[in-house]
Amino acid sequence: MLDEQLLDDESGLIAADPSGSLRALAGAGAQVRMAMQATAEAGINRIVADGRPRAVVVASLGGSAVVGDVLTLLAGAGAPVPVSVRRGMPLPGWVGPLDMVVAVSMSGRAPGPLGLAAEAARRGCRLLTVGQARSPLAEVAERTGGVHVPVPPAQNAAARASRMALWALAVPVVRVAFELGLTDASTQVLERVADRLDAQADLFRPSSEAFVNPAKSLALELSGSVPVVLGDGDVTGVAGARAVSMLARTARVPAMRGALPDDAGDVVATFDGPLAARPDDIFADPEFDDPVGTRLRLLLLRDAAPTPDRPDGSWLETSRTADAVKMTAEDAGVRVTEVSAEPGHPLERLAGLVALTDFAAVYMALAGGIDPLTSPHVADLRDRTH
């Protein structure tokens, strides 16, 4: 269980966070602005001047994997060219000089993106790389006529972690995609994203008490449970995937995720499994009378409704399914936390949801006595696989 007193102790939270994870998340808006500037200075005209490629392949994995999800989300089903994501070698055989490969790695040394970038260069593809300056990934791009966008220098240990630098990694890819006509995420949209992230950072700040801080409240609600994170559409599906990753890597909490409508059956099937509440007393309140032991908690992410990218018909269909899943959970005695996105461009809506779950994951770690940044078991795994 979490130390609730620590959650309301600003100085205690800061002392428990020597790597600066909260500070790194609070700088998300600044990440957007610095990444926009770095992209402009990198000379992306070299790879966008020839117009749209035949296809775009994004190479990203680990903490950077969400970049591919973001681009796929923004391009959507109506993208003028195919957009696909690869986590590792090999590069598909059909990829050639008419295509663009985007390789993303915070350190610039991840074998998957690095190998795909090198192979893309050998095949004569247009190449965009994002990562540390003067890294092997940067050298591949610079040596072969590609464009490398460097991430800003890290201000603390947490800022060097790819999962804490989502916007520094994603914004260059979004900017290039806009210039190629693959998305409508313009400079103005990115500026609004930065503003929203600033507002969220202020709302979720360590000095804000739990009863008025949605991120701290969410951390308390998820404490001691196995979260089932369900998104009701494309935006919330990406947000759910990000939430599950942050809960695992940052708070050390395993979680299941899904997106509607496809995963409704898989999610509700867990409601009569071994981790479901199933109180015997018909008067039992699942919020206060849950049986001893770890139980499911449904975290239902709801998109703003309706929006231009989600017309009435599409929104109503997924909204009805989400309502049905929620009612099924409540009937089964499964606790439900519901979060709704604020209106705006899909990237703005995603940013708001991601900020909430990112901060909640860090607060869960700190109040649980865990270093959000460093996992000894991840370090062991890295040593054993290199």
Structural domains in the chain, CATH included, are 4-12+204-377 (3.40.50.10490), 27-184 (3.40.50.10490)
Residue 124 has pLDDT above 80, yes or no: yes
pTM (2 decimals)? 0.91
The string of pLDDT tens digits covering residues 21-39 is: 999 999 999 999 999 999 9
Q: How far is the C-alpha of 163 from the C-alpha of 264, rounded, in Å?
A: 28
Region 217-226: mean pLDDT is 94
C-alpha gyration radius of the chain: 21
pLDDT of residue 281: 45
The 3-state DSSP class for residue 307 equals: strand
Angle at 180 between CA 102 and CA 239, to 5 degrees: 60
Residue 131 has pLDDT above 60, yes or no: yes
Q: How far is the C-alpha of 256 from the C-alpha of 136, rounded, in Å?
A: 35
The string of pLDDT tens digits covering residues 45-98 is: 989 998 999 999 998 877 788 899 999 999 987 889 999 988 777 888 999 999
- Within 87-192, strands assigned E span 100-105, 126-131, 147-150
As given in the structure block, the two tokens for residue 190 are: 């990115």
**CA 59, 64, 66, 71: dihedral to nearest 10 degrees?**
-50
The string of pLDDT tens digits covering residues 227-238 is: 999 999 899 999
Which of 63-77, 94-108, 145-159 has maximum average pLDDT? 94-108
SS3 of 66-115? HHHHHHHHHHCCCCCCCEEEECCCCCCCCCCCCCEEEEEECCCCCHHHHH
Q: Which residue has the tokens 């109503």?
A: 316
- Buried-state track 17-40, b at ≥16 Cβ within 10 A, e below 16: bebbbbbbbbbbbbbbbbbbebbe
- Buried-state track 196-235, b at ≥16 Cβ within 10 A, e below 16: bbbebbebbebebebeebbbbbbbbbbbebebbbbbbbbb
Region 307-316: mean pLDDT is 71
Residue 125 has pLDDT above 90, yes or no: yes
Residue 377 has pLDDT above 90, yes or no: no
pLDDT of residue 279: 53
As given in the structure block, the two tokens for residue 194 are: 């930065």
Strand 56-59, strand 83-86: pairing: parallel
The string of pLDDT tens digits covering residues 231-263 is: 998 999 999 999 999 999 999 999 999 888 888
- Whether 252 contacts 222, CB under 8 Å: no
